[in-house]
Amino acid sequence: MSVTRERIIELGESLIRTKGYNAFSYQDISTELGIKNAAIHYYFPTKANLGTSIIKTNIQRFEEMVDNMHSREFDETQQLDTFIKIYIKSHREQKVCLVGSLSPDYETLNETTKTELNKMVDLILRWLAETLTAGKQKGLFAFSDSPENKAVLIFSSLVAGLQLSRVVETIDFKNICLSIEDGLKT
Amino acid sequence: MSVTRERIIELGESLIRTKGYNAFSYQDISTELGIKNAAIHYYFPTKANLGTSIIKTNIQRFEEMVDNMHSREFDETQQLDTFIKIYIKSHREQKVCLVGSLSPDYETLNETTKTELNKMVDLILRWLAETLTAGKQKGLFAFSDSPENKAVLIFSSLVAGLQLSRVVETIDFKNICLSIEDGLKT
DNA sequence: TTGCCCACTTACTTATTAGTAAGTATATTT
DNA sequence: AAATATACTTACTAATAAGTAAGTGGGCAA
């Protein structure tokens, strides 16, 4: 696949996670990549198209990560830890996550982009719930909630934890992550 | 104070919480209120000015709510419940909260607006941490985390819980709220 | 009654936005 | 060698954005 196309997706994701979907423009990308406006439209006719592609790429990355963890036979503690490390990295980069950036803008997205975001959130939550269930069965995790509820609680803490950390410097995000893991200890 | 000014603030808040700060325009407000573009600029010279005023209004409302709860001698369980009910209402209205909408756009806000948002988050987290501490001392709440950490975890669950609920219909937000309260039970 | 302030409107400007149509250089295929 | 496809650029358009300067009507004060 085209390297320019990949650069556009990568930079587009970075811009969404830094400034938000409705604040970034094709100009931001073209200037940074040293190409013209129309070059982006060549790969992504509309902004909605680019947005959808960015989410699709993220879904693929997530699926590959899960596959990889399964084939390496990571236990549930290791899997959760790997997932949380993505957020630690985001925090270091002063970026929110894709879901946390796009969700508040949900009503401004077009239908296909909405659907793709819906898929991504659903995928993450289903994986988390499954992992929590399996981990509990193995005696690695302990919690009284339903796995689905617990999955939302954990995911929400990560998503909004990143958002709030950028606003208030007093928040210790790494400690939040530790609390999430400690909250599952047996 | 002017009724038009108040209407602009109210509608502005609603727009931010529905579409996001960078997606709403003065046109949206002027059309809805049947006034002209320039009438909004009369009260709020710049969009940043309006944004800041909306946050200030929310801070005031929050402070009044806390004062009110204190003067009515609400215990910590009742106070937390009152706070959570704000989010239940937001969920019913299909809106995210102001903090949850503005935080992802943080980098696009001007300095005074950033400062005001910072104040608001700080205020809420400090109140939450204090309420959790007092409730724990009275034996109303039980938790092993630091109150500051627990405050961020609870607030994050509410903020992102609203965001995610709008994206995925399978999330039972009221149940999330119940889980938060159950998680503090002695 | 004159003058002034308040709460706007009229009528703009300037900048930026997403998006497009047509052209072009380079490489690849026929 | 000619035709074609790829990966763009040039040069726009139309819409929308925030913001402003100057004007206006109505009420109140001096």
Q: Could you give the CA distance from residue B164 to residue B168 in angstroms, rounded to a whole number? A: 6
Does the beta-carbon distance from A103 to B121 stay under 8 Å? no
CA/C1' separation A49–C14 (Å):
29
Q: For each of chain A's 186 residues, which pLDDT tens digit applies?
A: 799 999 999 999 999 999 999 999 999 999 999 999 999 999 999 999 999 999 999 999 999 999 999 999 999 999 999 999 999 999 999 999 999 999 999 999 999 999 999 999 999 999 999 999 999 999 999 999 999 999 999 999 999 999 999 999 999 999 999 999 999 998
Is some CB atom of chain A closer than 8 A to the CB atom of B7? no
Q: How far is A5 from chain B (nearest CA, A)?
A: 26
Does the beta-carbon distance from A168 to B125 stay under 8 Å? yes
Please name the residues between 22 and 41 in chain B that touch chain A, using a CB distance below 8 Å: 22-23
- Chain A residues whose beta carbon lies within 8 Å of the beta carbon of residue B182: 144-145
Could you read off the pLDDT of B107-121 as tens digits, one per residue? 999 999 999 999 999
Chain A residue with CA closest to B20: the answer is: A105
Could you read off the pLDDT of B19-75 as tens digits, one per residue? 999 999 999 999 999 999 999 999 999 999 999 999 999 999 999 999 999 999 999
Within a 10 A sphere around the Cβ of A20, how many other Cβ atoms?
A: 23
List, as one string, the DSSP characters of A150-165: HHHHHHHHHHHHHHHH
Mean residue pLDDT of chain B comes to 98
Return the pLDDT at A32: 97
A167 touches strand D (CB under 7 A): no
